[in-house]
Amino acid sequence: MRCPRCGCVESKVIDSRASENYETIRRRRECENCGYRFTTYERREEVPLTVLKKDGTTEVFDRQKIMRGLVTATVKRNIPVSQLNGLIDDIVRELRDKGCSEVSSHDIGEMVMERLLELDKVAYVRFASVYRDFKDIDEFSAELRSLS
């Protein structure tokens, strides 16, 4: 790691600590040339997730797209944003644990719905009505009956 003050590449680690979520490691370093102390953060290198869309195109996974859908589905449902972030983190973790580098938008939608059903049934129905694109009231009613 290059020293930000003198540019020397030799430094020693003084202290290491895991972050709160154990996703990164914070290291305090000291330059062996000038003695300057600085902080670095290390994180595991990950292959970016790509999403295969219904039309056959692919795009980079964007957690903000899921968050927008969740926020819309949970309006006035008293569900904290931190819980929605946890839901998304859980989905990403599951995909990473499976070793996925590409996932279909359909699979992501199903994973979101599965977790929303456990979290809040009203939010689940709101999300499902957009995600499943109900064509008429009968399809919507059938979904509601399946919840009973």
Ordered by start, the domain boundaries in the chain are: 11-43, 50-147
Q: Which helix (H) or strand (E) holds 26?
A: strand 24-31
Return the bridge partners of 37, or none: 30
Q: What is the pLDDT of residues 27-52, one digit of tens each?
A: 999 999 999 999 998 887 777 899 99
Q: What is the pLDDT of residues 64-86, one digit of tens each?
A: 999 999 999 999 999 999 999 99
pTM of the model: 0.65
Separation CA 132–CA 125 (nearest Å): 10
DSSP per-residue string spanning 29-52: EEETTT--EEEEEEE---PPPEEE
Beta-strand (E) ranges in 44-138? 50-52, 58-60, 102-104
